[in-house]
Structure 1
Amino acid sequence: MLTGIKSLVRKTVSLLGTKTQPQYPIVVPRDKHTLSRKNISPNALKVLYRLQEAGYESYLVGGCIRDHLIGIEPKDFDVVTNATPEEVHDIFANSRLIGRRFKLVHVTYGREIIEVSTFRANQADSAPTAPKSLKDKDTARSAHGIILRDNVYGTIDEDAIRRDFTFNALYYNVKDFAIHDYCGGLKDIEQRQIRIIGDPRARYQEDPVRMLRAIRFAAKLNFEIEEQTKAPIKEMAHLLDHIPPARLFEEVLKLLSSGNGVRTFTLLREFGLFKYLFPDADALLDREWKQGQFSAERFILRGLENTDERIQSGKSTAPYFLYAFMLWPSVLLRQSEFEQQGMPTTPALHHAATMVLDNQIASTSIPRRFSTPMREIWDLQLRLPKRHGKRPFILLSHPRFRAAFDFLLIREESGEALDGLGSWWESFQHAPENQQRQLIDKVTASKEPGDAKKRRRPRHRRKSNTVRRQQED
């Protein structure tokens, strides 16, 4: 839970006084807010000062300012300027141009990337005061009204009103260390609400991903989505079908890998957005699908709880693991269907995995570097119960063993009865070799299903043609 938010923001917005209709932009001087250079990445400061030395305007913008005022340590520092991407790239040798839909410059300092964007406008012609070099008429929309390219440059005033939410239209100027609030973001932070800038329907039409961003901020900041901002979301959720699957893959990682996965999942379901990210899983959740003691909803929630716990304790989580547990209920359903048709268990699992992944990539693409380890985790769920002979030692050395073991624990913790399989593997991993042998012997002695050695059928020698002819005579 966020702490100190009201005291931080009230100190910052004390300049507003009792005005009911403040004039924007509100400029909050250094002595009226809490953000200072010691809270800012030294590399971001280098970019800001270098741009100004080259004769351009430069500001910190958006999330880093918002997070500081709320009481969250900023991690990403974004810079905005009136220099074009090409001009920024010329200034910084350690930079690269990225993006077609939205041209940006990434300035790299070791592992830290400072993202630099150019002031945007809805139409170049609406910025008569902008330098002529900034009027790049590079814009396009799809048949559904979604912006495909957004490289129309303008002024800081225009840049502010085309940002998504009010608390992201906050700018910090290193010339005078003032915060510039263009759309009432400071007040919305104080009221703990998410408000979109402009008409919600028009803004979601331009970029449906803004609906996902509203959910992400609501979960991350524990804010409420303002009434008019949330009103059209359910009705317009279908527009996510027109977003490239590769972009939605990245959004899923932001949504569910931020340490607030459980709340995010609940909100996605509440607003009807989840089914456009995970259609198969959503269908199972709607019918409350269970298989024996396995519950799809319990399993997904436990997987998200596990991911949240890891992230909140400073540990990392792999995208393939997230997708592995989100899609596992769908894999189980398909596997059971193939088995009912007479297919053996292992081929049934492999066919099910292929079908589920093929269906999923129509919604959110999954790079091969992630889909391959997902398949390995699923395949190991069939191999982990087989613990006789040398198999446990072979499995223990498998590069995906640890992820598969964690996956197994989630299955058990969500209520699936696996006869103490997780505890056995926990003991086996940390036991000395002589005790490992004892654990294997104990399993072998119990003759658990699937582990006993198969009896060999007696080999029948094929009769020669000479013998066959003699018998026929």
Structure 2
Amino acid sequence: MTDTAISSQNPPLVVPRAEHGISRKDISPNALRVLYRLRDGGFQGYLVGGAVRDLLAGGHPKDFDVATDATPEQVKSLFRNCRLIGRRFRLAHVVYGREIIEVATFRANSSNDTDDRQTDDGGRLLRDNVYGTIEDDAVRRDFTANALYYTVEDFSVRDFVGGYADVRDRVLRLIGDPVERYREDPVRMLRAARLSAKLGFSIAPEAADPIPELAGLLSSAPPARLFDECLKMFLAGHAEKSFLTLERLGLLPALFPETAKALATNRSGALRTMLLQALRNTDDRIAQDKPVTPAFLFAALLWPAYCRELAVLQNQGVDSGVAQQRAADRVTLHQAQRIALPRRFSLPMQEIWLLQPRFTQRVRKRVFRLLAHPRFRAAFDFLELRASATPEVADDLAFWREAQAQAPEQLAGRLAPKTLPRGAHDEAGDAGESDADDAPRRRPRRRRRKPGGSGGASE
């Protein structure tokens, strides 16, 4: 489907209230306030994008976006609770407590780069603030299913590009030439994978076929934006489906290159089994309204890469403790070049990894020290996850599960003051994971000296 073919749908298809089934009861009251205020101010206002798509598909959207012919400055003049954001796309955010209604001015494509619309040499869109009509705005959106407009004028849905039929048929179809649209914004390939997994939509062949060849374009996307896209993909209740879709479309090596390499060399399949179980667990927790953390998610996503790097270092004769820390640092650093993982998540992720060898220990002091570790619970959950794919760690899991339930005196009686650590398990197979015998020892804390004195009390 080309731009010319899509633009020719004029006048638009108007789906009346009696036929589309969208009810105002399912729309955010704040979004309705914005629509009515725009109308009363003499402007057009439409609910647009994912909210309309999800309502038509029977879903319950959490975010509500509005499109209008008012400029961002005019929107700001209508709402005291409004702030303008963005340079790449100038937007108005109307703030109601914790809810933000995003209001965007109708945009149009421009054949020539101007100060308001700029692309790089590869065709990637750097800035786009050329305003136009609602017809222009519909044609420049990514998928036909996202180019549907709901109006409070008569509560109808306006369709300029065939999106209503595509939602009904549950198919994702790009507007315009797919190769050009992916070059313009490579993250659209990830959006296709995410929406397909979330909605259960198929991806039209003409939109899916170019993805494996163009997947490398993601290396030019901002790492911070890829991190945000990963959170949407893996922390919204459809993580396992998203991962499988990434694999099927050839996007996994572009997003997690070292993980993809480790999974490809792990012929036993234990690492992939564990990773998929982690994603299923994440989906279950979200379904039960339980908290999830990006640190644990990325610990699972990058564990195959960590195991592979650790094996390489140990095969080179690097001491186990040093190899563990070095492998964790290398994997984190290399992944950060693709996805900007904040330190508040990367550091706990590394702690989860580095605590795993300590679960093989039965020395009394070290057992109690590990139980008191602030990251113990997350590390134990990770051990439980490993046991789902590697039977060899079942004994460790049983011991630590029982240790948590016992009184300290009872547990201490079971443990010898000094024992040799048990042997490490090898769950990575030929991908090369081997747990070290002991964790690297922490450096002793330096004692602070009191002012004017030669020594100080320990902390």
1:54: Cα distance to partner? Answer: 2.5
Partner of 1:112: 99
> Matches of 1:100 and 1:430 in 2, distance apart?
55
What secondary structure does 2:393 align onto? Answer: coil
1:390: Cα distance to partner? Answer: 4.5
1:389 aligns to 2:345 (yes or no): no
1:329 aligns to 2:304 (yes or no): yes
Distance change (3 Å), C-alpha of 1:383 and 1:33: same
Q: Which has the larger radius of gyration?
A: 1
1:44 aligns to 2:16 (yes or no): no
1:180 aligns to 2:152 (yes or no): no
> Matches of 2:124 and 2:16 in 1, distance apart?
38
Distance change (3 Å), C-alpha of 1:388 and 1:139: same
Partner of 2:86: 99
Q: Is the 8 A contact 1:102 1:151 kept in 2?
A: yes
1:449 aligns to 2:454 (yes or no): no
Q: Is the 8 A contact 1:48 1:79 kept in 2?
A: yes
1:360 aligns to 2:338 (yes or no): no
Trace 1:102-181 onto structure 2 (pairs within 5 A): 102-123=89-110, 137-181=115-159
Partner of 1:424: 399
1:300 aligns to 2:280 (yes or no): no
1:107: Cα distance to partner? Answer: 2.2
| 147-156 vs 94-103, greater mean Cα deviation | 94-103
> Matches of 2:376 and 2:32 in 1, distance apart?
44
Q: Is the 8 A contact 2:143 2:174 kept in 1?
A: yes
Q: Is the 8 A contact 2:364 2:417 kept in 1?
A: no
Q: Is the 8 A contact 2:48 2:149 kept in 1?
A: yes
CA distances 1:280-316 after superposition (whole Å, capped 9, x unpaired): 01111222356xxx82212211211111221222223
> Matches of 2:363 and 2:413 in 1, distance apart?
8
Distance change (3 Å), C-alpha of 1:345 and 1:86: farther
1:360: Cα distance to partner? Answer: 0.6
| 437-446 vs 321-330, greater mean Cα deviation | 437-446
Amino acid at match of 2:211: I
What secondary structure does 1:114 align onto? Answer: strand
Distance change (3 Å), C-alpha of 1:194 and 1:347: same
Distance change (3 Å), C-alpha of 1:409 and 1:369: same
Partner of 2:240: 262
Specify which structure has the bigger relative contact order, considering alpha-carbon pairs within 8 angstroms and separated by 6 or more residues. 2
Q: Is the 8 A contact 1:24 1:183 kept in 2?
A: no
CA distances 1:63-85 after superposition (whole Å, capped 9, x unpaired): 11111111111211111112222
Partner of 1:272: 250
Partner of 1:82: 69
Amino acid at match of 1:35: I
Distance change (3 Å), C-alpha of 1:324 and 1:306: same
Q: Is the 8 A contact 1:138 1:152 kept in 2?
A: yes
Residue number among 268, 289, 314 corresponding to 1:339 in the alignment = 314
1:415: Cα distance to partner? Answer: 2.1
Q: Is the 8 A contact 1:249 1:366 kept in 2?
A: yes
Trace 1:183-262 onto structure 2 (pairs within 5 A): 183-262=161-240
| 21-30 vs 344-353, greater mean Cα deviation | 21-30
> Matches of 1:338 and 1:227 in 2, distance apart?
43
Distance change (3 Å), C-alpha of 1:85 and 1:396: farther
1:442: Cα distance to partner? Answer: 2.5
Q: Is the 8 A contact 1:61 1:169 kept in 2?
A: yes
1:177: Cα distance to partner? Answer: 1.1
Q: What TM-score do the two structures reach when normalised by structure 2?
A: 0.85
CA distances 1:259-286 after superposition (whole Å, capped 9, x unpaired): 2222211221121111111000111122
Partner of 1:18: none
Identity of aligned residues (%): 48
Residue number among 3, 7, 13 corresponding to 1:26 in the alignment = 13
Q: Is the 8 A contact 2:306 2:328 kept in 1?
A: yes
| 337-346 vs 270-279, greater mean Cα deviation | 337-346
> Matches of 1:420 and 1:345 in 2, distance apart?
22
CA distances 1:230-268 after superposition (whole Å, capped 9, x unpaired): 121112112112111111111122222222222211221
What secondary structure does 2:416 align onto? Answer: helix
Amino acid at match of 2:266: E
Q: Is the 8 A contact 2:364 2:418 kept in 1?
A: no
> Matches of 1:447 and 1:138 in 2, distance apart?
70
Q: Is the 8 A contact 1:95 1:106 kept in 2?
A: yes
Amino acid at match of 1:338: L
| 422-431 vs 155-164, greater mean Cα deviation | 422-431
CA distances 1:373-406 after superposition (whole Å, capped 9, x unpaired): 1112112213333354344444344332222121
> Matches of 2:13 and 2:25 in 1, distance apart?
23
Amino acid at match of 2:118: A
> Matches of 1:86 and 1:22 in 2, distance apart?
31
1:62 aligns to 2:49 (yes or no): yes
Q: Is the 8 A contact 1:321 1:374 kept in 2?
A: yes
> Matches of 1:402 and 1:82 in 2, distance apart?
52
Unaligned runs of 5+ in 1: 1-20, 127-135, 454-473
Q: What TM-score do the two structures reach when normalised by structure 1?
A: 0.82
Amino acid at match of 2:141: R
1:145: Cα distance to partner? Answer: 0.7
What secondary structure does 1:420 align onto? Answer: helix
